[in-house]
Chain A
Amino acid sequence: MPDDCEAIDNDFALDELLVYRLRTDDVIPDEHGALAVIPGNLRMPDFSVNRTKFSDPDWVLYPHWPEMGYATFSVGDVLEAGAIAAEKLRAREPKAATHEFKPVHEPICEFNENWNFAHTSVVCFKAGKPKKSPARLARFEFRQLLASRMKIAKRPSR
């Protein structure tokens, strides 16, 4: 890991896993008894994750959430879900600005317990610029598509 916390690295491999922390209330058993992530609980945009290039998945539980769980998904999952949502937007609104969803490395460089070099946000780029207000329906469709790609790697107990 770089010594310089501000050494931002936006080189993401497609198979790099991203880690999203889960509470018990964020998951639900599906028809087979496996847990699924509840899409409605996800917050978009400003969707915070840790990237595994710079952290172990368990680090997402540090420092306050040891009993929570986490789901993983790949950078490729983000791009794939984003491409589907963007295509649907184009079909619905041909003149809408292009939307691209992708991870952005955003280290938290506070020199306290919140320090987190692996912190990453899933961001929507609208016409090439990061926006906090992507088209609403595209945002919700992306959220659904991404939730369906999440794999629960650690079950939450709280």
Chain B
Amino acid sequence: MSQPATIRSSAPEILLGFAILGWPSLADSEIAIVSPAPTDGGRPGIHHSRRLPLGLTQALEEISALRSIEDNWNGYGSPAPTLQAINAARDLAVRLFARSLSPDTATAAGEGGVAFTFLLPAGRQLTIESTNEDDFLVVTSEGRDDANAYEYDHADIDEVVEVAWAFVGLQGTSHARRA
């Protein structure tokens, strides 16, 4: 029997995903619903990234909280996200959740903007940034020696979601990541 598939996020998002995509086929798999605790109990404006276990509403609140941070928020001179970057990130979050794609974190990006991070099995990673340069920057990685970056205009937001969907590789399931 294969390892249990892991489902993150809350029931409404899962149900939304299933409604859109159909119920997953998880023959030979077990489903474990995991609601990871936030990595900190921080306050908006003090801590700038969160795990996103609470679903879309909470995710949007967390992204909006990034409006309160200031330049040099990390002590390394990083600029605060612009309002445009935050708004585009909120738009992207809605579309990602609509496809049952829930990032592991939303953070203020080191280069300015908002970064969504997906940590996937076998060392694969996906980063999507809504940048302060008013576009999206996507980086996929299959492992330690692999990285591929792509730029997308805001108008191509649906393409960004499709790229994320394809890369996360849900193997016909919704919200499930096989361990």
Contact present for A38 and B147 (CB under 8 Å): no
Contact present for A24 and B117 (CB under 8 Å): no
Contacts of A98 in B (CB 8 A): none
Contacts of B28 in A (CB 8 A): none
Contact present for B77 and A46 (CB under 8 Å): yes
Contact present for A39 and B48 (CB under 8 Å): no
Contacts of A23 in B (CB 8 A): 47, 74
Given known pairs A31-B119, A144-B125, A144-B147, the reply for A25 and B49 (CB within 8 Å) is: yes
Question: Is A44's beta carbon under 8 Å from chain B?
Answer: yes
Contacts of A38 in B (CB 8 A): 49, 105, 107, 115, 117
Question: Is B139's beta carbon under 8 Å from chain A?
Answer: yes
Contacts of B104 in A (CB 8 A): 28
Given A39-B127, A40-B107, 6 more pairs with CB closer than 8 A:
A24-B39, A25-B50, A43-B110, A44-B111, A88-B147, A149-B144
Q: Which residues of B contact A (CB under 8 A)?
A: 36, 39-40, 42, 47-51, 74-78, 104-105, 107-111, 115-117, 119-121, 123, 125, 127, 129, 137, 139, 141, 143-145, 147-151, 179
What are some 18 contacts across the A-B interface (CB < 8 A)?
A: A25-B49, A25-B50, A28-B51, A28-B117, A30-B119, A38-B105, A39-B127, A39-B139, A41-B115, A42-B110, A43-B74, A46-B76, A64-B75, A137-B151, A138-B149, A145-B147, A148-B123, A148-B144
